[in-house]
Amino acid sequence: MSALKLELKEKIIEQLNLEDLSVEEISDSEPLFGEGLGLDSIDALELIVMLDKDYGIKLADPKEGRKIFESIDTMAAYIEANKS
């Protein structure tokens, strides 16, 4: 699980162009949207595509994303439970 969390942080930094951040600066439980990393709706779309492309997980209902993308912890847990 910790390897997956590290991988997710690296992917988020690369795909969302968060060049000023390092993996150490993203905590596992920190909110990704809003007050935490401050991601926005375009980032949410990028993350949905990332789940599909890299982990084979399609989000049938984009509203699910609100809970899944809450933090690195919730993303990793969802991927572990659903990856194909």
Per CB under 8 A, residues contacting another protein are 15-20, 38, 42, 45-46, 49, 52-53
Please identify, using beta-carbon distances, which residue of 1 and 12 lies nearer to another protein: 12
**CA–CA separation, 38 vs 36, rounded Å?**
5
Question: In the complex, what is the shortest distance from the CB of residue 45 to another protein, in angstroms, rounded to a whole number?
Answer: 5
Question: In the complex, what is the shortest distance from the CB of residue 10 to another protein, in angstroms, rounded to a whole number?
Answer: 16
Q: Is 73 exposed, middle or buried (CB count within 10 Å of its CB: 0-12, 13-18, 19+)?
A: middle
Question: In the complex, what is the shortest distance from the CB of residue 2 to another protein, in angstroms, rounded to a whole number?
Answer: 26
Measured N-to-C along each axis, helices 72-82 and 41-55 cross at an angle, to the nearest 10 degrees, of 30
Contact 76, 1 (CB under 8 A): yes
Please identify, using beta-carbon distances, which residue of 1 and 58 lies nearer to another protein: 58
Please identify, using beta-carbon distances, which residue of 43 and 70 lies nearer to another protein: 43
